[in-house]
Structure 1
């Protein structure tokens, strides 16, 4: 018997479904930021100068393509219904502070340095920059493609009175980037992308106090006679006054020392007369206004603990410092003539 034998081979092939796109955002965008300094060691800026803001430039435009990638949304649930590219910040804002330029008004976000914050602006490839605020900022409405990029610029802004020093600013989360459905108004969670600024160093060179009035002045005392004195150490009743004005950061403790401009090593309470003085037996003393004891003299130094340095005050943004100047008898015999003395007052903040 002839037999016909048929053999059927069945091959089973397992394959993944064909994928045409994706619904995702990059894991994170880490924006580089250069080290900056406010002022310089040889030319510190006033802590009260609002133009300090202008010394800190914007970074170059930083594109997401180079720092993490694009958002792709062609397989998201809202494909075909339209999306907006949006950026928002959840960083702590500086209460009551803002910054404005030709692009608009910005919230200022805190850094580890009191008085210095970040501002940030963002754009898409085909749009202009817009300030990033705490609420959602639309940088590209109705995105025309199935993927989109974003660009960023960052700027440090001085909004207060930063203390001098060198600060290490750690990497910080600045904002989030995502696409949002135009139909539902919901953010597509798979596309939410954190935006970080990389670590940097900020050096601050500021002057915590500045003299506003009376930085250099000549004080003339009235003429007196030998009969106006009663002995060594006595002062003549006529006096002259002068005043200094200062502006300081409000958290600064202010100290002062009065120094002898002719003999800086003098730590007595009487100024040395200049060589062209013709009088003898009389000197000049400086008093804090309203006090009966002359100010002892010390070296012209701002170092803490300087000899005869005295504490002036803390917590004021402006000071008016009044002084009196009086003649004092220094010898038994007084020879009439003219006299001149020089004094310097060194204020320091600690």
Structure 2
């Protein structure tokens, strides 16, 4: 932590027998020479001393709240959950940034130590990795490093000059901070970590005060290595739909033609599965969110569109996005591991105008897979 002495008028205290204290206002001077200078006046001023009145120790923030807040960016870790206990799953090194750069805290007693702690239960050494804290994700812990090599928890002991009254306690803006995720046990699922992950305290004479809160500006996201799938599907011929026979009125449909999408899923860690979702996107009209696929611009026919079905369910269309909850996203299968799936679908024409015109009627849709 950065410690800056006051450079204005302040009270300087010296202790005398019978717990008598002299307070003398003066401008800032080096502490050693100031104590020596005051000492030469002891004999002259001793008769004027009054009994000291004990007051509770306190710390005061200036220019910001207490504790002061420093922020660290989040990061994403995608790792094999089957590594040995104690293995490092992922890490990130950055320099923290203060939310109130000019803010500081002063305390009215001498502080004897600074204590740097991580958040969560302290586990100690796990599988050979020292100084590990538990996180809210089962099987995943933290290890924190201040600077290049100082592991938390860490205590810095202070001399009276470093921790004396009037010192400005403020985060050093140049401190680097490394956060590591450590395997501490069986990992069944991923998760996210947010909020405060560490603190800095000062202590002295039975008094302690949190001066800094180390927080995340965005989430740390951990996901086990999951399988991903490659999809293949042949072009689908819908045959001939005869206007006036097969298609007579708006809403009439042609017989559905079955086809299969093959999904080859691989690359996941043993025992790790994913919930596999999909979204169909209309390539001719990407903003289409209906359940009718537009005809391509080269199609001659008019007044008809195409529907794709999953069993008896007519599938809708949505943006080309992997985001969970995407418009018209649907579940293919839960708990998919390293495997090959066959997804049976069907397609058909639907009449959309009272007077359709004949000709070729083609449509193109893409499928976007989302692993959740």
State the TM bucket, normalised to the shorter chain: 0.3 to 0.5
The TM-score with structure 2 as length reference comes to 0.43
Q: Normalising by structure 1, report the TM-score.
A: 0.45
